[in-house]
A and B are shown apart, each in its own frame.
Chain A
């Protein structure tokens, strides 16, 4: 009984997430205001992160939120604010060519995904998830990061400090 409830609950979450993500991504491309589009993009990313959690991939879900919903959308919003989009908005959707090409590419991509999922039936490890396997996901990444990839991990520290030093020296007021 309890298992049935859990399964139904999972299905409900999946359907909700899937529905919202499709709806939000549709809104991303239909909104006139680019800031609204960017915010709906965040919603899409968050829903996809939820789908990853349902697939027992917490690490990818966390990265999805931190990198995509956090950093990349931040960058997009910054660029939108720096550019003057009023002019673009007034010149109402002149680029028909780009729409045709974009639509063509989107359909091509859709068929590609269908082909990969249906015809090729992706291979992977078979078997049900156990609590050990689920926690092993993040743990494995952490372990590898601090053992095998210890040196690169340290080097990233130097790299990021060089980047921050550079950002400060190029922007701060000099005395």
Chain B
């Protein structure tokens, strides 16, 4: 046989030194740690965020106050960070609850027979049919607003999409030959669910959960902005923005611009964490 090296090459695997998987994992780690730092710093800032100092009011952004100060002399950087950390906590709580609801209802719809399925599917369609914001306001208002109201409202309005996805996945796996065979081998329903069904939907579930984050955070900010969310003394991003409205006409642009951009960046970062995770899990891109 002749030397392998003389054989013409028709295709070579794309091998950049920085493989896509490495890049994805790096950016995943970076965004995740960035978000964690924001959250921790925000918690540490909780006192600074509400301390007033009338000698320092209405300052434009400077070295000392990077985001400027407001009409009560509160440092806007501290307030923004605090606002973000509140948003992240609420987002975390609300989307976790939402995802768990989705998991339970999705599993029930797929396994407990036609009647349960019809009811749950109907509920999903119903909730998806109502405008999101309206539903959020209604629930939050009914629960007397406040932090609790916001969390419940966001949690109760975000599960339908994921429920539908999980239900579909489970229905499909249930029809697989290996699940039917496991039944004939005498495996109990519970064992089959744990061994054969949950491992397959777990990636979907985690990605779905993380992609709920940005929605939850944005919606929390929206209803707070409209006055149906967090109480005014909490420096949530929604509150900061709505308070700044009356000062914008006086030329204090920094009150709204910086917190707004910060919120936007946080949301984009969460979204990128979710899509990067999906890239790693998805078999179509996992080998690139």
Partners in one complex: no
Binding site for A on B (CB under 8 A): none
Interface residues of A (CB under 8 A from B): none
